[in-house]
Amino acid sequence: MTIPDWWQTTLLALAAYRVFRLLAEDVILDRPRAWLVGLSDWTAGQRTPASYREGLAEFITCPACAGFYVSLAWFGAFQLWEHGTVVVAVPFAISTAVIAVASVLSDD
């Protein structure tokens, strides 16, 4: 087993955060996320449908829950292909930095 150094750990952590945020919060995946939790035909203001999977919805949006498994996937990938995983993690890490800088500089 290979333990990532501090720089690789930082890249993997930032990449894991970005992937978690993509899966849990980003608008681009709203429709697949709604389908997965049983809200694909639901609109705001209506009663919650019987098909709603509340536990799954909570899991997907929980950083301690889904975030752990996303991190575990990154770490597992690192164990299988160290260099390739770090290379793939870099754009995700840069994206996280862009989000952080934009939130600091934003007037909202």
Please give the model's pTM, rounded to 2 decimal places.
0.89
CB 48 within 8 A of CB 42: yes
Give the chain's largest Cα–Cα span.
Answer: 51
CB 16 within 8 A of CB 76: no
Give me the residue label for tokens 């694909």.
40
- Give ∠ CA 93-99-105 in degrees, rounded to 5: 135
Position 43 confidence tier, pLDDT thresholds 50, 70, 90:
confident
| pLDDT on residue 44 | 74
| pLDDT on residue 29 | 94
**Residue 70 is encoded by which pair of tokens?**
């996303």
pLDDT tens, 69-98?
Answer: 999 999 999 999 999 999 999 999 999 999
pLDDT tens, 13-40?
Answer: 999 999 999 999 999 999 999 999 988 8
Alpha-carbon span 100 to 27, nearest angstrom: 17
**Residue 78 is encoded by which pair of tokens?**
């690192």
Say what percent of the chain tops pLDDT 70.
Answer: 99
| pLDDT on residue 74 | 98
